[in-house]
A and B are shown apart, each in its own frame.
Chain A
Amino acid sequence: NAGVTQTPKFQVLKTGQSMTLQCAQDMNHNSMYWYRQDPGMGLRLIYYSASEGTTDKGEVPNGYNVSRLNKREFSLRLESAAPSQTSVYFCASRPGQSYGYTFGSGTRLTVV
């Protein structure tokens, strides 16, 4: 089925390591988003991309970088992981003017 695919699903990192979370959508959506979900904090926007070639900071961008590689793919990079980045990360895409985002199934990241 069409949708948003995130890889990996689980990851354990040591403090200071780097990694890239991958996200791809096959629905031809223009806008893509990265959120993190923490207990008691809801969904917080890290970065978003309104269209191919553009990216903007969200509420909690510190410690992260993003790349909108093409219309399909939007990756999130942690250059030097910290325990505070332990979280569940969700990628989402948005169909045109609708706000009915499609979310991926998430990446559970633990930084030790």
Chain B
Amino acid sequence: DQQVKQNSPSLSVQEGRISILNCDYTNSMFDYFLWYKKYPAEGPTFLISISSIKDKNEDGRFTVFLNKSAKHLSLHIVPSQPGDSAVYFCAATAYGNNRLAFGKGNQVVVIP
């Protein structure tokens, strides 16, 4: 049973435009959310996170928005750059839990 869902498996965007990745979760106990980025032949790397006490967290070109009532979060990349071409995984947990639940990932291709 997938607790973290990422639809629209792939996204193509022009360089300089905004990339928006969406993630939905089903477990109401989740209160901490993360995005990881993965290049081919490498392990995932941590990108940005948000706690449920916030509805927005920003780090440079990356912003994560959380809508708790809809159990939905999104990652915005502005402006998109060719180096952002990667697979992005959404992950969630209940803070204090030892485990993360990952989504299936979204492939982003940024076209120069």
A42-B89, A99-B49, A99-B93 given; A50·B43 CB < 8 A: no
CA distance A99 to B102 in the complex (A): 12
For window 4-59 of B, CB contacts with A under 8 Å fall at 6, 9, 32, 34, 36, 41-46, 49
Question: Chain B residues near A45 (CB, 8 Å)?
Answer: 99-100
CA distance A106 to B102 in the complex (A): 17
Question: Chain B residues near A106 (CB, 8 Å)?
Answer: 41-43
Which of B42, B49, B91 contacts A105, CB < 8 Å? B42
B76 interface residue per 8 A CB criterion? no
B98 interface residue per 8 A CB criterion? yes
Total A-B residue pairs with C-beta atoms closer than 8 Å? 53
Is there contact, CB below 8 Å, between B104 and A42?
yes
Is there contact, CB below 8 Å, between B102 and A100?
no
A53 interface residue per 8 A CB criterion? no
Is there contact, CB below 8 Å, between A42 and B46?
no
Q: How many residues of A contact B (CB 8 A)?
A: 24
CA distance A104 to B44 in the complex (A): 8
A74 interface residue per 8 A CB criterion? no
CA distance A102 to B34 in the complex (A): 13
CA distance A48 to B105 in the complex (A): 21
Residue ranges of B at the interface with A (Cβ–Cβ < 8 Å): 6, 9, 32, 34, 36, 41-46, 49, 89, 91, 93, 98-100, 102-105
Apart from A4-B43, A99-B49, A102-B46, what 11 extra A-B contacts exist at CB < 8 Å?
A: A42-B105, A43-B89, A45-B99, A45-B100, A48-B98, A48-B99, A58-B99, A90-B43, A100-B34, A104-B43, A105-B42
